[in-house]
Amino acid sequence: MKQHITQQKEFFLSQTTKALDFRIKQLTILQEVLQNNENLLYEAIYKDFKKSEFDTFTSELALLYNDIKEAKHNLKKWARKKRVSTNFLNFPARSYILPEPLGTCLIIGAWNYPYQLSLAPVVPALAAGNTVILKPSELPKNTSAVMAKLINENFDPAVFKVVEGGVPETTELLKQDFDKIFFTGSTKVGKIVYKAAAENLTPVTLEMGGKSPAFITEDCNLSISVKRLVWAKFLNAGQTCIAPDYILVAKSMEANLLKTLKEEIEKEHFDFKNDNYVQIINDANFDRLHKMIQPEKVFYGGNVNKKDRYIQPTVLQNVSFSDPAMEEEIFGPILPVIPYTDLDKAISDVKKLPKPLSCYVFTSNKKVKQKILHNISFGGGAVNDAVMHISNPNLPFGGVGQSGIGNYHGKAGFDCFTHYKSILDKPTWLELPLKYYPHTPKRLKWIKRFLRF
């Protein structure tokens, strides 16, 4: 491990990674490696949790290809020196900002979208001119292995290397002196990463989770809202960091919402054999989720099969904030519905929980929309939609408070792996004597005149 990091640090110091054509080449290699081996990627992820080619392409590879295209297209612009104006005090001079890569970066991935969440941060890291050690999640062992094989066979390890492993290996990696750590995963492990990074004052980006609410207000278009919400919730069997975690519904809409949810879930035919549903990642998560299903609260679904790690799309009704499903992020196909009679009270209940990664507002009422968007602090979200904000590279993606530190995607990703060096560039043909000795009253008068606040 140490040897790989030393090798990457030495290579970084050679300045090779700073050339734009070198960076473009790395992105092209990544794109080709993925495109030429899609079948291996599909096979591995299907073995891990029965994720289909359709879902893997649409929710993982397509996003990665788009990130690579976007980075290649904009790299020249992003990496350019940026002129800024110079203040009067420094006349005559030019001022500019020089973007520079941070160095050797550690990227730690989560399991739920194993390709997208491991490689999406790699794209801006390489685009910004860094070297990368990637540690994918060990839970989907076949996807971790296929990424290690494809990356390590096709990249110079001095530039990009995959190191596989679980807690002991990650703990060891976190003891090393990186120039940046990018972590995706739980808030619990995010704290471990943050503490370890503090030892070396390493900057971090932490992409974590939380309980993301979805508001269904009285004036929403119910049928289209439910259609979008059901897709977003049960994609990847709810194992999505930005999935709507629970619904807050206006009491007057509750019965209609429950009925429409049932109809929409049935219409979608979520099933492994229909290529639109996946297994729960492991037994521990299956057991954790199973405990959240209180039989007396099941409105729809509730069937499980431990052998297949299957949990049916499940809707819980009459849920309160003290129920088991509301104690932690669900991260599975269980959807609690909480009715509210007073929107302000519902907003204040959400604000009592840690700041979520996302929030969704289904409404056609402008005032209601503004109230929710401005009152609740959350990472990012959508109005009359859910999850899809992740697919717009112009929207920086990240959490706030317990759900994350920092952003990425598009230009925000480039910024996340870049240091902006500020330069004041002065000619020598003029030197005003004012700041030098002797500090006479006349000089002070002039300084005060210059610095008119």
Q: Which is nearer to ligand NAD, 258 or 400 (CB)?
A: 400
Q: Which residues contact 75 (CB under 8 A, 6 or more apart)?
A: 20, 23, 24, 127
CA distances to 2, 115, 150, 286 from 133, rounded to whole Å, are 11, 15, 14, 31
- Site for ligand NAD, residues 311 to 330, rule: CB under 6 A: 329
Number of other CB atoms surrounding residue 47 within 10 Å: 15
Q: Which stretch binds ligand NAD (CB under 6 A): 63-71, 88-96, 107-115, 317-325?
A: 107-115
Closest distance to ligand NAD from the beta carbon of 111 (Å)? 4
Query: What type of residue is 390?
Result: I
Quote the radius of gyration of the chain (alpha carbons, Å). 25
Q: Does 404 bind ligand NAD (CB under 6 A)?
A: yes
Closest distance to ligand NAD from the beta carbon of 427 (Å)? 47
Site map 191..210 versus ligand NAD, x via CB under 6 A = -x--------------xxx-
DSSP 354: P
Closest distance to ligand NAD from the beta carbon of 266 (Å)? 28
Closest distance to ligand NAD from the beta carbon of 137 (Å)? 4
Query: What type of residue is 389?
Result: H
Torsion, Cα of 374, 378, 379, 382 (10° steps):
-60
- Which of 160, 331, 362, 417 lies at the binding interface for ligand NAD (CB under 6 A)? 331
With CB atoms as reference, the residue minimizing the distance to ligand NAD is 209
- Site for ligand NAD, residues 47 to 66, rule: CB under 6 A: none
Give the three-class secondary structure for 163: coil
Tell me the number of residues near ligand NAD by CB under 6 A.
Answer: 27
Give the three-class secondary structure for 17: helix
8 Å CB contact between 271 and 94: no
- Site for ligand NAD, residues 228 to 267, rule: CB under 6 A: 241
Closest distance to ligand NAD from the beta carbon of 315 (Å)? 21
- Which of 27, 44, 71, 108 lies at the binding interface for ligand NAD (CB under 6 A)? 108
Q: Which is nearer to ligand NAD, 75 or 106 (CB)?
A: 106
**Sign (positive/negative) of CA torsion 399, 400, 406, 407?**
positive
Q: Which is nearer to ligand NAD, 129 or 209 (CB)?
A: 209
Q: Does 109 bind ligand NAD (CB under 6 A)?
A: yes
Site map 111..130 versus ligand NAD, x via CB under 6 A = xx----x-------------
Q: Does 182 bind ligand NAD (CB under 6 A)?
A: no
Helix ranges (DSSP H) in 251-365: 254-268, 283-292, 343-352
Tell me how far apart the alpha carbons of residues 144 and 137 are, in angstroms, rounded to a whole number: 7
Catalytic status, residue 207: yes
Identify which of 204, 205, 240 has the alpha carbon closest to the alpha carbon of residue 407. Answer: 205
Q: Which is nearer to ligand NAD, 92 or 166 (CB)?
A: 166
Q: Which is nearer to ligand NAD, 109 or 213 (CB)?
A: 109
Dmax (CA) for the chain in angstroms is 87
Q: List the catalytic residue out of 60, 70, 207, 329.
A: 207
- Which of 28, 58, 171, 252 lies at the binding interface for ligand NAD (CB under 6 A)? 171
Closest distance to ligand NAD from the beta carbon of 243 (Å)? 9
Q: List the catalytic residue out of 60, 70, 105, 241.
A: 241
Q: Which is nearer to ligand NAD, 212 or 217 (CB)?
A: 212
Site map 334..373 versus ligand NAD, x via CB under 6 A = -----------------------x----------------
Tell me, letter by letter, the H, E, C secondary structure of 61-118.
HHHHHHHHHHHHHHHHHHHCCEEECCCHHHCCCEEEEEEEECCEEEEECCCCCHHHHH
Query: What type of residue is 48?
Result: D
Tell me how far apart the alpha carbons of residues 289 and 160 are, in angstroms, rounded to a whole number: 36
Closest distance to ligand NAD from the beta carbon of 342 (Å)? 29
Closest distance to ligand NAD from the beta carbon of 171 (Å)? 5
Site map 133..162 versus ligand NAD, x via CB under 6 A = --x-xx------------------------
3-state DSSP helix/strand/coil % of the chain, to nearest 5: 50, 20, 35
Cβ burial of 116 (10 Å; 0-12, 13-18, 19+) is buried
The catalytic residue positions are: 207, 241
Q: Under the rule (CB under 6 A), what is the footprint of ligand NAD? A: 108-112, 117, 135, 137-138, 166-167, 170-171, 184-186, 189, 192, 207-209, 241, 329, 331, 357, 399, 404
